[in-house]
Amino acid sequence: MKMIINGKPADSVSGMTREIYAPADGTILDTVPVASEEDLELAFEAAREGQKKWAKVPVYKRAEILMRFLELVERDKEELIQTLSADNGKPITQARQEISNISTAFRAFAEKAKHYYGTIIPPGIEPGHEQNLQLVTKEPVGIVLCIIPFNFPSNLFCQKVAPALMMGNAALVLPPSGNPLTNLKMTQLLVEAGVTDGAIQCVTAPGPLKQKAVADPRTAFVTITGSTETGLKIAETAAKNLTPYALELGGNDPFIVLDDGDLDLAVSEIVAGRMINSGQVCSASKRFLIHDSLVEEFTEKAVRLIADLKVGLPSCEDTQVTCLINEDAAREVEKQVNLTVSQGAEIALGGKRNGAFYEPTVLVNVPSSADIAQDMEVFGPVVPILSFHTDDEAVEIANRSVFGLSSCIFTADSKRAHRMAARLEAGSVIINGSTFLRSFEMPFGGWKQSGVGTEGVMSTFEEMTRTKVLAFKNLL
């Protein structure tokens, strides 16, 4: 598969390619170009010219083009589903849901853009301005660099590319290096739908070249979902040009069950909260804080539920948990579990690796001082269970982390939930549901080292536009 540069399929100027492997069984799915600095330069030049033309397309016509894109997605839906599942190692049922989300996201951003109005500051609001009319408008920033992660390549393409295009920007997509095929296909469809040449491009750039793209002064805004380590490097690089950015980074989200919480509901939420995408979710529930009066029963039910989950190949319709993105990722989870055991935890279920597969695992008697209970983010199907006695203790443990992405509380008392939510240091607090709750509408983002800025229909347009004031002096 080729890159998309200036509206056309493109090989690398160097001619270099790399093979893309299915993480589940190691089969070769395709080859893609290895982009060079020359390729990136071609993409930036095309984006600069393409953005100027695209910005002149009226908003309603941009929306019509994106609706045409959705028709093409529907036409090629099964191909996209199969590509995402094989390329990412995502269970086919979850790939089907993620591809169906494209319609939800693009429609929402298109409709929002058609109702995204400017503001008027009328005469006489303050002394000395009795005859002055001020119009506040929002304009495109220019080239938006969209850095997409491996775990939800379609969902996060939607969150970044749809608003960038609807606001008249050029979207320069840098897909995940190991699984770029879904993003390449989606970009092809946007070109086919009629997006101006250069206004949407997809460049298969290795890591160092992504940093060069961030450092390029033509980059007007950077939006990335990725690790905190990567986000910090991007922030440092972007600062040299005062390039603004939105960083959606790591998390170690607490899953808190109070003594009056619905235990069966909480246990059932483990599947969505921790096992979706084999646990490779930034906002997955990663620390299970259970009231000491419930911890034994919760553990028994959790082990029983998780032991019954179907582990298998991504292509099987009944698979619930499958491989991680590669064998290195599985080795890292294995290492983290072993460390947690050495720090006092015990394995109640799982704990074994087979290639890129890591068994759904339950860890019990996890000390609150263990790394996994604080700043060690585990990107895999691992449920570490800690106990607490008071609400204050639960909050203290939950906040004892550099991360603050999402959090959740299970309780029958709405006042108690509200009081605790106000004290949790996180961008989202879910009541009686797992931390894995995110709509395209909500402003999603984290506190502390979980990120900067938010994305979603409610907030992304603010991130991807610049404010201009048009003042008419002495108009009246």
> Which whole number is the average pLDDT over 186-200?
98
Token code pair at residue 424: 């949790």
For residues 184 and 304, what is the distance between their CA atoms, to the nearest angstrom? 41
Give the pLDDT confidence score for residue 151 in this predicted structure: 97
Q: What is the pLDDT of residues 367-397, one digit of tens each?
A: 999 999 999 999 999 999 999 999 999 999 9
Give the pLDDT confidence score for residue 28 in this predicted structure: 97
Rounded alpha-carbon distances, angstroms, from residue 296 to 302, 348, 364: 10, 12, 10
Q: What pLDDT band is residue 476 in, cutting at 50, 70 and 90?
A: confident
Q: What is the pLDDT of residues 292-313, one digit of tens each?
A: 999 999 999 999 999 999 999 9
Q: Is 359 a catalytic residue?
A: no
Catalytically annotated residue among 146, 202, 282, 323: 282
Q: What is the pLDDT of residues 128-163, one digit of tens each?
A: 999 999 999 999 999 999 999 999 999 999 999 999
pLDDT > 70 fraction of the chain, expressed in percent and rounded: 100
Burial letters for 221-257: b for 16+ Cβ neighbours within 10 Å, e otherwise?
bbbbbbebebbebbbebbeeeebbbbbbbbbbbbbbb
Q: What is the DSSP string of 56-110?
A: TS-HHHHHHHHHHHHHHHHHTHHHHHHHHHHHH---HHHHHHHHHHHHHHHHHHH
For residues 426 and 446, what is the distance between their CA atoms, to the nearest angstrom? 6
- State residue 288 phi and psi, 5-degree precision: -100, 100
Count CB atoms within 10 A of the CB of residue 199: 30
Token code pair at residue 122: 């009328």
Question: Residue 135 in 3-state DSSP?
Answer: strand
Could you tell me which of 152, 85, 149 has the C-alpha nearest to residue 323?
85
Token code pair at residue 420: 């605790």
Measured on CA atoms in the order 138, 241, 202, 284, is the torsion positive or negative? negative
Q: Rounded to an integer, what is the distance from CA 54 to the centroid of its chain?
A: 26
Q: What is the pLDDT of residues 252-285, one digit of tens each?
A: 999 999 999 999 999 999 999 999 999 999 999 9
Rounded alpha-carbon distances, angstroms, from residue 385 to 158, 298, 305, 366, 375: 34, 9, 15, 6, 15
CA atoms within 13 A on the CB side of 35: 32
Could you tell me which of 51, 37, 162, 34 has the C-alpha nearest to residue 107?
162
Q: What is the pLDDT of residues 47-74, one digit of tens each?
A: 999 999 999 999 999 999 999 999 999 9
Q: What is the pLDDT of residues 6-32, one digit of tens each?
A: 999 999 999 999 999 999 999 999 999
Question: Residue 474 in 3-state DSSP?
Answer: coil
Catalytically annotated residue among 98, 248, 455, 463: 248
Rounded (5°) CA angle 468-224-26: 155
Q: Are 298 and 267 within 8 A, CB to CB?
A: yes
Give kind and range of the element (H or E) at residue 188. Answer: helix 181-193
For residues 407 and 285, what is the distance between their CA atoms, to the nearest angstrom? 7
Q: How close are the terminal C-alpha atoms of the chain, in Å?
A: 61
Angular region, 149: left φ>0, alpha ψ -120 to 50, beta rest? beta
Position 55, amino acid: A
> Which whole number is the average pLDDT over 450-469?
97
Q: Is 248 a catalytic residue?
A: yes
